[in-house]
A and B are shown apart, each in its own frame.
Chain A
């Protein structure tokens, strides 16, 4: 019996060794330390460019990326554009998805990193494999951005704008509540800082009653938190600012049902939120420019991959624009946004990128 077990152990060890060996040996100098030669030869024409747009996870914010990417593909004659949302808000899963895309031949990627503190490592990895990367929708944490550029609404700035819109709707004074998502996420911390900034700017006229975090996981959790808040302290609240999706939806419904005179401000322009603006339950929302990010980002990536242009300052951050939408401009804000996208294209062409004369 013991010999049989020894044989089994030996076979298992042999199996593992075989696995390691078949994975391939190499000789010194074949690959440089920790990296290596780019995976594919540089593309020279737009038809050889394949762009991947990779959000952090499934979220209504990224839906416009799909249509904008397809539009860019048609306009520029790209080899391919894909949209991959399998990251599911986990950096490890997003890294695996990005590596898959690289292996499938995608040579340019516009990425919304799941974790702002980890994404620079991912960018470095991808760059060493010869892929051109841009950060879309969210910039990495810290001072350095390893991507070619970052095209986004600064997360802190968007939250600050939303809080300002709420304060304006409240008449410049009163009590404000901030509803947001995962507390241990860097982007949430930035949003909290942005709201605080807006409140500090009022010089004490507006008071932050509380910041309720971790209510974006689930719509019912958000609904419960908002109902409890209104039930306990609804009388003294003048404004609510929601910087995450589920709290925004829940706040709109709860404020409407409670009939309290609370000004409710959200972010992003999901149909549910816009419907709220139209029927008055939401005072305003701060719409960002995801379509612009995707279109201009794809355009710029194409130029970089084909070698037609280079980035003047690698790692530069460009604001893609944010727009306060209320009942007055809910029908027309999109036009304003498209104008901004056009302006962004020009900005890239003139300042951000240095292009060779055609």
Chain B
């Protein structure tokens, strides 16, 4: 058995793997960098999140979602109390963005219960309600996530990029040449990425890195060659790389084919949260999950379907260095 000190050392090392100098998040809070460290990804499951058998519900149970989130955050940080865990993750006096994903309509959007669970713990940890900004590309996507637009700084805010506006100046890295939402560049100090796991007609898989398509003005310009290397290059843009430091990935429900739109006949309930800082490691595990489900359903692999998510390997290459897709360098914590 590892003692608490060893555990915290591993947590620190894992968290530092992706450090790129940001003053926010775990990376800045703990230990030293190391080339041998592994990227920690917590894979938290509760098979009864949506109920069982004939009582399976479309939406997950709110209390169970909160419990699962707490367990996941505790496992990630090594803290035994969720509020203490959150305090170690985010700066209390900053504006924290929650980048959700409602593109697939309310059938397959980041779940309201998860967004509210995160927002509640952030507030309990000391973040002012008005310093929490839930956002997505447009108001319809936000509504799909169960959010009502609110810009009152006295309450938790929710508004969309098309309302906040885009930077006039283009940002560029590699093939990605886009304008970024001011919510990312100006309004938020740190962003918690909250994607939802889906198959993707073009990219193969959409999860942590692909969710950044929702922070640019014209995402369709990044679709060539199955979004490769556009997804990776987009995530290399410094403001995305530095501010989007932590992912609470929603894999409570998912579509394993026909995405990113909602296809109820291809909906399944992994009842899982994927949590971590290494966006490449998270996407590597997300890809595995989609492939496992496709095989179970008798569908071809994404490679055979002509849309392998090669952008994941591109993101891991030394030129970009966004994280690791090497299974040996990913520390999976399954709870």
A, B: real partners: no
